[in-house]
Structure 1
Amino acid sequence: MSNGDQLAVTGREACGCKVGRTARKYALPDLDDRLRERRADGASLRRLETVVNEAVLRAALAATDADVFRDVAAIYRSLTDEETSAGVRTETEAWLSRVGVDPAELEGDFVSYQTVRTHLRQCLDVDTDRNSSLSVDDAEGTIEWARSRSEGIVGRTIERLEDTDGFHSGSVDVTHVVRVSCTDCGASYPVERYLDRGGCDCDAQRR
């Protein structure tokens, strides 16, 4: 068994589906845990498709000797977004080749959301049905995760500007404030207040 295979086995026999094989190939031992956690937080199958494929892309870039400072999410969109022009996709594939990643092999290892669904059901015993409603606590957790991620991205982006000529910044603390506005009644609340009060007053106004 290779080192990648050993890393991918976490107390159980590794599955043989494409997600399992890809996790072993790119040494992603925590991928299953991430999929379980994100699914529990309400992530859609299409979002989990992106989670897997961005992890594969990140691992492929990390395995090269090149210094890579590009946004993995942006690279992934350039390769897969239907609205990406052929020119941008070609440029991205050429850049991958230059840094030591075979774009054809990489894209062949990307998975679809149907493949992720099969992996969740058959390999991880995760229910992929979405008949149950989302609780307020679950919503708060998902929103807080998204806000923290957004703050982290903004903070890291600003830090990368420190060496840019003409740009000066001290120690920064990034805060992302989310507000929810109802276009029906015109009310606007910080998202925490909106959740705590059970939404806006539209239902009361209809009575």
Structure 2
Amino acid sequence: MTDGQVCDCKVGRVADEFDIAGVHESLADRWVRDRDDYSLRELARYFDERVLTAAMRAAGEDPLGHEVASTYEALTDDAVSSGERVQVENRLSRAGLDVGALRDAFVSHQSVHTHLRECLDVEKETGPDGDPTDRAKDTLFALQSRTEAVTESTVDSLANSTLALDDFDVLVSVSVTCGECGRSYQVGDLLDRGGCTCKQS
């Protein structure tokens, strides 16, 4: 990476692998300076699109912003038809990209939160009278990050001894299911949405 590897969390490793200069500063700046405009989910998408852009350019393509956005949506959005998704996957494969590895490089908003707080030492300033949703997300993501760290340490200590495993990533995910309509959400997505869609229509 042009500005040196910042850390060894997933965001740091992926940024280093794809040689994405300045992305750490950009994430921190958007989180602190533009905190009213960028949610963690949007920051994760911003990072993922930087990864996708770097991968496409390395394959000899010169994608425009809207092309990157539409390609990312085709790879990640469940609302995209299977036909459209396959078409995009085939196009990327023909360009020499490993679509599976590319998807594995994408990060969650939880990973971005961990990177901001623990690696970049950036805290979103909400204060005692700040947005209660932001405070709730900080609490939940801190717990998830702690669980992730303990799990990673435990698995790493067993890898190649009693556990046949080399390289690995740990992702702790908490889902909330609406008791009325049955829809399930990642807890961060639910907080960002402001509730279940069945209550917002």
TM-score, with length taken from structure 2: 0.58
> Residues 70-115 of structure 1, C-alpha deviation per residue, up to 9 Å, x if partnerless?
6101110111112111111111111100112110110010000000
- Identical-residue share of aligned pairs (%): 40
Q: Name the CA shift for 1:80/1:30 in 2 (closer, same or farther; >3 Å).
A: same
Letter aligned with residue 42 of structure 2: R
The answer to whether the aligner puts 1:109 opposite 2:105 as a matched pair is yes
CA contact (8 A) 1:8 1:27 kept: no
- State the alpha-carbon separation in 2 of the partners of residues 110 and 128 from structure 1: 23
Match of residue 43, structure 2, among 45, 48, 60: 48
> Residues 168-201 of structure 1, C-alpha deviation per residue, up to 9 Å, x if partnerless?
xxxxxxxxxxxxxxxxxxxxxxxxxxxxxxxxxx
- State the alpha-carbon separation in 2 of the partners of residues 89 and 59 from structure 1: 20
CA contact (8 A) 1:8 1:24 kept: no
Unpaired runs of at least 5, structure 1: 134-207
Tell me what 2:196 maps to. none
> Residues 42-95 of structure 1, C-alpha deviation per residue, up to 9 Å, x if partnerless?
211000000110000000011112454561011101111121111111111111
After superposition, the CA RMSD in angstroms is 1.8
The answer to whether the aligner puts 1:33 opposite 2:25 as a matched pair is yes
> Residues 105-130 of structure 1, C-alpha deviation per residue, up to 9 Å, x if partnerless?
10010000000000011001111465
CA contact (8 A) 1:117 1:128 kept: no
- 3-state DSSP of counterpart to 1:117: helix
Rg (Cα) greater in structure: 1
- 3-state DSSP of counterpart to 2:42: helix
CA contact (8 A) 1:120 1:126 kept: yes
Tell me what 1:22 maps to. 14
Unpaired runs of at least 5, structure 2: 132-201
- Alignment coverage as a number of residue pairs: 125
Which has the bigger relative contact order, CA under 8 A and spacing at least 6? 2
Match of residue 57, structure 2, among 45, 62, 84: 62
Tell me what 2:80 maps to. 84
Moved over 3 A (4+): 66-70, 128-131
Q: Name the CA shift for 1:75/1:124 in 2 (closer, same or farther; >3 Å).
A: same
Q: Name the CA shift for 1:130/1:107 in 2 (closer, same or farther; >3 Å).
A: farther
